Amino acid sequence: MQAAPLDNPRYYLANFDTLLDWVCQCHADLLTEAERATVDAITRLPEPSRALLVRLLMRKGDHFEVTQLHYAEIGAIEAASQPLITPITDSATPDGLCRLNADLNLEEMLSLVTLPRLKDAFPELPRSTPKRRMPDALSELLGDVTPRSLPEWLNDPAANTLSVGLGELSRRLSLMFFGNLRQTLSDFVLSELGLLRCETVALSRDSRAFTQRWEVDRYLALEQLREDWQAARERLNRETAHAELEPHWQRIILALDEPTSSEADATEANRANAWLAQRRDRLRFSLARDAERQGWHHAAALQYACLEDSAYAPRAMPRRVRALELSGDISAAHALACERLARTDITLDEQLALQRALPRLCRGLGLPAPRRAKATATPQITLTVPDLAISAAAGIHGVERAAAHALATPEAPVFYVENGLLPALFTLLCWDVLFAPLPGAFFHAFHTGPADLYRPDFVNRRQAAFEDCFARLSDGRYRETIRERHQQKQGIQAPFVHWPLLSEELLSHALDCIPPAHLEACFRHLLANPREHRAGLPDLIQFFPENSRERYRMIEVKAPTDRLQDNQRQWLALFARHAIPALECRVEWQTVIASDASAEDEATARKAPTAR
């Protein structure tokens, strides 16, 4: 499966044909007879007509004025459009793949017509009327704004339009090919331009995102709910009609658990789909967060409660505690926090958030504050550097780079890596595992990583293969593996890898100075929760190649007003448990000539791999 070369003037059509052929080959059983009839009609179109249809599908919106369509490789638009507006019996598009002069509502009409043209068509309007006022102005002027064709709106017989008539089928075909609605035909173009280089993964008929039609229906229904809520929130917030927003939110919530017609017809065993359940949970979590922002704390708490047994529980339960507290039910919030903290399977993410909330809840109930085990303190240094404006004038941008510049010496180089080193080393070591063609992992040639990377069963499905990779850390083969992958896979899109950051120099120092036991501890922590643990790593890494005791240290840089985030605390706690050298560097701005003490402190920070 390859993108068409861009020297083909109809490259986009060749890419669309690839998409259509793949869907027909792998997903024909998920299409209705009427949908298959429409697909067959598309494949039988004359090439100029098929090219015009694809051009319209690639543009924003469904309605287009014919006189504004100009494509040299297609030729005469009116001739190419004739087969598209021909009715297709017994298909999903009985009125044709496109409609000529379809009725447009006021908003659709305004999206097609420029402001000067509107003023010419409606001379009664004040010439100073801006475009944003046109809906109200035309409603007042015309009174009747029922949908009508563009020639009728403008009283211009030449203002003919073409409207794409595929409806949901276009999204359905794209979804079945890509496995998501985020990617489009543009990914073919990016691939051909070399901007999107993807790993080659063996694909077969089993390499498909969906196995049953109800799964496609459910995905589309969830996406429609998300879009409906987003549109309502934007519209009602703009109109400050907050009273209307909560009922709309409630309707979206009720629809979350309503099965589609095809889902209702499926057997209970066939309705189990962890991937779609996770998508529903993600939408529910997002809706609950929006409820919090609107101040609907009780409603938010109820939705967080629905996520108790989901993969979102570590994020949802602390927010549920907070929502209960803000709704006035501090007793319930306290009981829930205590119950969750007593669980043996609690994640560190959730534990930190609840431990932070518990003293406040105890105060609210007049209870003694719980005793907390004192966390292992991360060593700290204080570093005085020129303020950001002075540093920027010297070509050093950001507090992290200013600290790196101050700490670096020829014998102890410092690299600004943040989340770009350890996760990338993990990917290079486990490349073959990440790109293994497991069912549900890869659906097409344009994946930048496995589709199930952030699903709860991601590691379990590959546990043995990951252990084989980690065995290379024990026997020393990891260095050769990582170096080979760094050379062979350069520029290919992969999870956690930012190629410009991963220079030969940085890679060489990392493999020479970081012990394999430290790498394994970090890799296992990353795998415990890839979505959350991919971030929070220290900003800098400093290497001491000539030091026989500690050959590197990681440095979390904090400006005077910054504080550690939870994911950063987790990484620092892991480093403490495994004796991984790390420190927190508190930066102070140098606004006057540094004192002798500050200069001495900076010199100590430069030289020593351990901190005071």
**pLDDT tens sequence across 81-130:** 999 999 998 888 898 999 999 999 999 999 999 999 999 999 999 988 89
**pLDDT tens sequence across 223-260:** 999 999 998 888 766 555 567 788 999 999 999 988 77
Strand order in the sheet with 98-100: 63-65, 161-164, 98-100
Contact indicator for 524, 553 with CB cutoff of 8 Å: no
Secondary structure E strands in 121-255 = 161-164
Polymer length in residues for the chain: 612
Q: Which amino acid is at 4?
A: A
User: Counting beta carbons within 10 angstroms of the beta carbon of residue 504, is it exposed (0 to 12), middle (13 to 18) or buried (19 or more)?
Assistant: exposed
**pLDDT tens sequence across 6-17:** 678 888 898 889
Provide the pLDDT confidence category of residue 611 given band limits of 50, 70 and 90.
very low
Q: What is the rounded CA–CA span in Å between residue 547 and residue 31?
A: 65
Q: What is the rounded CA–CA span in Å between residue 163 and residue 410?
A: 66
- For 314, the token pair is 């570590």
What HEC string does 473-488 produce? HHHCCHHHHHHHHHHH
Strand order in the sheet with 552-558: 380-386, 582-590, 552-558, 540-543, 414-416
- What count of Cα atoms within 13 Å lies in the side-chain half-sphere of residue 23? 25
Q: Is the dihedral of CA 5, 11, 17, 23 positive or negative?
A: positive
Provide the pLDDT confidence category of residue 549 given band limits of 50, 70 and 90.
confident
**pLDDT tens sequence across 7-60:** 788 888 988 898 899 889 888 999 999 999 999 999 999 999 999 999 999 888
Please tell me the pTM assigned to this model: 0.79
